[in-house]
């Protein structure tokens, strides 16, 4: 007879609050970004970070800026979604793409301003292509972990 998982949990275990769930979500996102960032530092030759502490701070900053980008993209999308017509649908997708693509320039400049030469993305278009590859990899890794977590249910 196999024991149920509920029998292994303490009686006093509480359901996490919304703030606790958000903390775990963003904490996990930062750790995933930290791992991806440092794997690029170690294996790519196009991402340079001066120390682990700087990479942790950069991962936190990237997580915040990426979440802010998604908030802005949704805000822009909702603005155009409330309008009628095919041209508004086109504008919704165009401006969503513009926000998502243009945010990478803002992120690169913000990283440059905050960290200077301690964090560098090198390669095509002054490191922009490398940054895009890193960010897309971070998003894919985060999504993969979320899907794996949901399958555990």
Q: What pLDDT does residue 135 have?
A: 87
What pLDDT is attached to residue 4? 62
Report the distance separating Cα 30 and Cα 37, nearest Å. Answer: 10
Q: For residue 1, what pLDDT is reported?
A: 53
Longest dimension (CA), the chain: 63
Task: Tell me what pLDDT residue 61 has.
Answer: 93
- Which ranges of 6-85 does DSSP label H, i.e. alpha helix? 18-43, 52-81
Domain coordinates of the chain in residue numbers? 18-151
Q: And the tokens for 94?
A: 């165009």
Residues of the chain with pLDDT under 70: 1-13
How many whole angstroms separate alpha carbon 152 and alpha carbon 54? 33
The whole-number pLDDT of residue 114 equals 94
- What pLDDT sits at residue 58? 94
Q: What is the pLDDT of residue 14?
A: 77
pLDDT for the residue numbered 81: 85
Question: Are the C-beta atoms of 55 and 49 separated by less than 8 Å?
Answer: yes
Q: What is the pLDDT of residue 5?
A: 61
């Amino acid at each position: 007879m196999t024991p149920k998982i509920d029998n292994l949990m303490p009686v006093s275990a509480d359901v996490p609050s919304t703030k606790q769930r958000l903390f775990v979500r963003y904490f996990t996102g930062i750790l995933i970004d930290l791992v991806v960032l440092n794997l690029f530092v170690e294996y790519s030759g196009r991402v340079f970070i001066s120390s682990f502490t700087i990479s942790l701070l950069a991962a936190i900053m990237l997580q915040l800026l990426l979440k802010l980008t998604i908030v802005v993209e949704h805000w822009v999308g909702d603005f155009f979604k409330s309008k009628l017509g095919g041209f508004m649908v086109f504008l919704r997708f165009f401006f969503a793409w513009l926000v998502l693509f243009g945010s990478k320039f803002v992120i690169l400049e913000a990283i440059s301003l905050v960290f200077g030469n301690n964090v560098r993305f090198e390669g095509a278009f002054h490191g922009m292509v490398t940054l895009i590859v890193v960010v897309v990899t971070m998003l894919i890794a985060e999504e993969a972990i979320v899907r794996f977590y949901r399958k555990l249910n």
